[in-house]
Amino acid sequence: MDTRPIRFLHRGQVVEVTPDRSTRSVLDWLREDVRCTGTKEGCAEGDCGACTVVVGALDGHGRLQLRSENACIRFLPQLDGKALYTVEDLSPPQGPLHPVQQALVDGHGSQCGFCTPGFVMTLWACQQHHAAAGTKPTRQQLADELSGNLCRCTGYRHILDAGERMFDLPAARFDRAAVTAALKELAQAPALAYSAPNPAASPAR
């Protein structure tokens, strides 16, 4: 069978990957192959949200949509033609913090190193969605967004507070037009010949 590498945007570049098997998870690729270890593994079966990343894709109208997804149950071939964002993309190692992170710090919503990156990425996807629409989520909508990020150690009140506060902080620059253009260019590639697993096996959160 003819194949070509999987191509997707990661850290501002088009990366090409030929995985050893079509079921290699995005989480394993991140942590083991490219050492982006900010994304954590908790349950490894799509329940806890520790591995939350954000995937960007164009909708039927050519508009960029950003969705939080569980990297542990997302397979690499499913990233073809898309953009992958992890917690490393939000702020440089020496800071300043991204507004989502700053809101968590300000509101005492920063928790352990396993769940916090996932909370950050879910909140960022939520922020991007509402910023593009010119809206703000209600507290209940924020709670719904965070329903896939589990922590039984503390509580969610401070995280929900941060979700509200992040809209009051100066927005961080995210060049949607450039990402949209890059994804349109990627879409020109020949169809992927990998037999990607059924997307229904990794439901969007």
| Shortest reach from residue 113's CB to ligand FES, in Å | 7
| Closer residue to ligand FES, CB minimum distance, 112 or 187 | 112
Question: Cβ contacts of residue 54 below 8 Å, gap of 6+?
Answer: 66, 67, 68, 69, 84, 85, 86, 121, 124, 125, 128
Nearer to ligand FES, 64 or 161 (CB): 161
Toward ligand FES, which CB reaches closer, 114 or 167?
114
Is it true that the peptide bond before 96 is cis, omega within 30 degrees of 0?
Answer: yes
Which residue is associated with the tokens 């229904």?
200
Binding site for ligand FES (CB under 6 A): 41-44, 46-51, 70, 72, 111-112, 114-115, 151, 153-154
49/56 with CB nearer ligand FES: 49
Least Å distance between CB 60 and ligand FES?
Answer: 28
Provide, rounded to whole angstroms, the least separation between the CB of residue 32 and ligand FES. Answer: 14
Q: Report, in Å, the least distance between residue 149 CB and ligand FES.
A: 9
Strand stretches in the chain, DSSP E: 6-10, 13-17, 52-58, 64-70, 83-85
Q: How would you classify residue 81: left for phi > 0, otherwise alpha for psi between -120 and 50, otherwise beta?
A: left
Which structure tokens are listed for 123?
Answer: 């909140």
